[in-house]
Amino acid sequence: MKRRKIGMEKRRLFIGWLFLLPAAIMIFIFCFYPMFQAILLSLKGGNGKQALWTLQNYARIWKDKTFRQCLFNTVFYLVVQVPLMLVLALMLAQLLNNPKLRFRGLFRTMIFLPCATSLVSYSMIFKSLFADRGLINVILEGIGLSPVPWFQQAWPARFVIILALIWRWTGYNMVFYLAGLQNIDYSIYEAARIDGASARQQFFRITIPLLKPTILLTAIMSTSGTLQLFDESVNLTAGGPGKMSMTLAHYIFNISFVETPKFSYAAALSVFILVCVAVLSFIQMKVGDKRD
């Protein structure tokens, strides 16, 4: 019986790996192999068979003024947009988790719907809203304020991108927080209420600590997504005015396919983003995960 049991366990393990194998092969082919090739390409200078091994591409990064501008833009979006979005998503999740709230399902669906919108479609909607004679400027003129040239100035253009990102991704993160809140036993809140804890104390002493793994997950995903931000920069502002709102991913696309192709340098920039994502994710894991 013992030998039979061991045989069944090995069989189950084999079947499990058999099911995982196709996905693992696809991930290797389409993710890890291109990543490895990009790292090799970033270490080469020249074209074709005449390419030589060099670190010139990495030395060039910090001398590139456009890169520094794009890095500033991307970090600015990360520092401003991600905290605002996560705090708003947590507040909405807490509000919509109230069992006494009517039409909770409708509100949840309405807030999540922007996430299901096509990236290009919602970018075009925001572009029309913030156009020179768009709805936003018409409203500003209606209340006696001067219209704003949203896409002709750097800071207004960045503000539009941040607003668009918050509008689209808040509902996505809210769903994670809702799932986490519904896994918290309601009796914990009842016991805290009996002990005299206020709603504010319950939120900061119970909800936040128990949601820490979910908050950490959404922070890592949002950080990674913002560092790779592309669609909004391309479709909303086209990186303008000039390149004052362009992101790193948009810059990599430009030097690969729009301007004279510089694939080795673009690969070096891609590796730079990969390292940034890995380092920030590691820091967030170390800071946020306090388990022994």
Q: Which of 232, 206, 210, 220 is nearest to 122 (CA)?
A: 232
* Predicted local confidence at residue 292, as pLDDT: 47
Mean pLDDT, consecutive 10-residue segments, the chain of 292 residues? Answer: 65 85 92 89 72 81 90 94 94 87 87 86 88 90 90 92 93 92 85 86 87 90 90 88 91 88 88 89 76 51
Cα distance between residue 162 and residue 175, in whole Å: 20
Domain interval for residue 25: 2-42
Instruction: Look up the CATH number of the domain holding residue 178.
Output: 1.10.3720.10
pLDDT in tens, 88-104: 999 999 889 887 888 88
pLDDT in tens, 265-275: 899 999 999 88
Show the beta-strand stretches assigned E in the chain: 44-45, 52-53
Same-domain status, 76 and 204: yes
Same-domain status, 168 and 250: yes
pLDDT in tens, 108-149: 889 998 888 888 888 888 989 998 888 999 999 999 888 999
| pTM of the predicted model as reported, rounded to 2 decimal places | 0.85
Same-domain status, 81 and 218: yes
* Predicted local confidence at residue 288, as pLDDT: 66
Residue with tokens 């430009």: 254
Same-domain status, 227 and 102: yes
